[in-house]
Amino acid sequence: MELMTPIRDKGYALIDNFWRVIQTSDLDYVLCGMPIWKHIYHALYWLDYRFDIPASFIGAPFHEPGLESLDVFPSGHIAKEQLLAYYRQVSEKSRRYLDNLTDDMLGEQPEGCDTNRLGLILSQFRHAYVHIGNINCTTIIETGKWPLVAASAADNLKGLYE
């Protein structure tokens, strides 16, 4: 089996877990001083950034300096529709990125990056799931329901909750 087969499977699951988190969480709930929508945007932004060549990164159409940082309190608000639109943009781009990668490319170090493509993918898996886990905890606290976390692409056919 080539390495990219399980990487794609787990990558597609990660991407779909963002959609599930947007659907199940209270986007205005404040976690560690920041609304959940900002935690989601932060994680999506860095997935978007790292699944690209930094020199050609575009980002969200509504992005403003500091919006990606959990150290900078937002001056405005991102509506659920905006977050979903950005999610769709990141989802499509990330799927294309994963679809076009080969095993041979995993060892390449993109310009402007401090690690190879495999390192970038693994760091985004870790980063995104930390945020998804934190956000899901707020949903569990508020609703008593356990949001489903897809482990593979096939799990995307399941519902929102365990």
Which pLDDT value is given to residue 112? Answer: 81
Residue 23 lies in a domain: yes
Question: How far apart (Å, rounded) are the C-alpha atoms in residues 21 and 146?
Answer: 11
Dig out the tokens for 111 from the structure.
């310009």
Which CA distances in Å does 62 have to 25, 65, 144? 21, 10, 33
Residue 162 belongs to a domain: no
Residues 6+ apart with CB under 8 A from 148: 20, 155, 158, 159, 160, 161, 162
Determine the Cα–Cα distance for residues 22 and 29; give it in Å rounded to an integer. Answer: 12
Query: Residue 41 corresponds to which amino acid?
Result: Y
Torsion, Cα of 130, 134, 137, 139 (10° steps):
-110
Model confidence pLDDT, tens digit, residues 80-137: 999 999 999 999 999 999 999 999 999 999 888 889 999 999 999 999 999 999 999 9
CB 125 within 8 A of CB 135: no
Residue 144 domain boundaries = 4-157
- Which is more confidently placed, 14 or 1? 14
> Quick check: 142 and 24 in contact, CB under 8 A?
no
pLDDT at 1 over 80: no
Residue corresponding to tokens 């956000």 = 135
pLDDT confidence of residue 55: 67
pLDDT > 70? residue 140:
yes
Strand-pairing partners, residue 31, are 34
Two tokens, residue 3: 């390495």
Q: What is the CATH number of the domain that holds 17?
A: 1.20.120
User: How would residue 160 be classed by pLDDT, with cut points 50, 70 and 90?
Assistant: very high
The number of distinct structural domains making up the chain is 1
